Structure 1
Amino acid sequence: MSHASLPATVWDRPDPHTLVVTVQPEHIDLMQHTNNVVYLQWLEDVAWAHSTHLGLGPDRYTALGHGMVVRQHELNYLQATRLGDEIVLGTWLVGIDKLSLHRQYQFVRASDGVTVFRGRTHFVCVEIESGRVRRMLPEFFAAYSAAVREVAPDGVKS
């Protein structure tokens, strides 16, 4: 099955932002599977792709003098991936407040629809020049909150 034909039921949440990668020789480690640090790079790649899609790419961060930086990652390696595997990287924004953004990830092997990885990232907003945590700019909050895919029972985006 190709990434285009992955059934919606393979995803943990509806409508992920996706990016497709293929495991390359340089991704393979001594154990003959994708090295764990490659997954971390893929997190960054799909997160930037999604953020850019929302109008907040690196150039916009620079122009606004603010950006979102990682406070914490949670990485769960579920299945090995091997040379030549096509992996569909999926991500969603699942929570937001005045300082923080929460993103989830699910990586699915296109050939069989098996989830090979899940992760979460907690981002905080910082002023680029000082590196200090700052309240999220209205432009950031508007773009990111509109993309949040989970609403708490009280109706507040959490």
Structure 2
Amino acid sequence: MGRKALEPRADREIFVVPLTVQPEHIDDNGHVNNVVYVGWLQEAGTAHWNARFDLATRTRWSWVALRHEVDYLRGIGPEATGVVARTWVGDPDGPRFNRYVRIEDGEGRLCAQGVSEWCLVDARTLRPARIPADMLPKFQRA
């Protein structure tokens, strides 16, 4: 496939999440099913959010997925180990944020990549809210 590999901007933190291939992830073709990758995109984003923000912030705000797009580049088989998701965020746009994820095998080869569009919402009302200016620095390189 001729897709260009996603690369983070220099000022973005790259957050790494280890992924485990489970027997139920494997489809009839002998590799991780495409639906699992969408779950991994969400898992990576949630782990990054939880690692960077305190409980009070996570209680006040929540995220709603608006769109997921995944490019499948190389199959991951049932015996795969060392699989990771590398994730980072784009620029805020009102209440929206794009999150980028690269899924790599234990040899560092790009197997899939994805972009998810998320909307920040008030956790109590579920109404969209502009992303606060103080939120972005938590996702930047130190």
Q: Secondary structure at the match of 1:107?
A: strand
CA distance in 2, matches of 1:46, 1:113: 17
- Maintained 8 Å contact 2:84/2:104: yes
What is the Cα-based RMSD across aligned positions, in Å?
2.3
Structure 1: 5+ residue stretches without partners: 1-9, 150-158
What corresponds to 1:49 in structure 2?
Answer: 47
Partner Cα distance (1:128, 1:116) in 2: 34
Superposed CA deviations along residues 96-126 of structure 1, whole A, max 9, x for unmatched, are: 133111110101111x221000101111112
Q: Which has the higher contact order (CA 8 A, sep 6+)?
A: 2
Paired residue for 1:101, among 97, 101, 109?
Answer: 97
Gaps of 5+ in 2: none
Query: Alpha-carbon deviation of 1:146?
Result: 4.0
Aligned partners of 1:145, 1:100: CA distance in 2, in Å?
16
How far apart in 2 are the matches of 1:22 and 1:146? 27
| C-alpha distance in 1 between matches for 2:64 and 2:19 | 23
Q: How does 1:11-50 map to 2 (within 5 A)?
A: 12-13=7-8, 16-50=14-48
Evaluate the alpha carbon distance shift between residue 79 and residue 54 of structure 1 in structure 2; reply closer, same or farther with a 3 A threshold.
same
State whether residues 17 and 50 of structure 1, in contact with CA within 8 Å, keep that contact through their aligned partners in structure 2. yes
One-letter code of the match for 2:65? V
What is the CA–CA distance in structure 2 between the aligned matches of 1:18 and 1:75, rounded to whole Å?
A: 18
State the identity as a percent.
Answer: 27
Mapped partners of 1:55, 1:134: distance in 2: 17
Is the 2:52–2:138 contact (alpha carbons within 8 Å) kept by the matching residues of 1?
no
Task: Write out per-residue CA displacement over residues 54-111 of structure 1, whole angstroms, 9 at most, x where no aligned residue.
Answer: 1156x6432x1x312111111111111011212111001121133111110101111x
Give the deviation of 1:148 after TM superposition: 4.5
Q: Secondary structure at the match of 2:16?
A: strand
Q: Which runs of 4+ in 1 moved over 6 A?
A: none
After TM superposition, the score normalised by the length of structure 2 is: 0.80
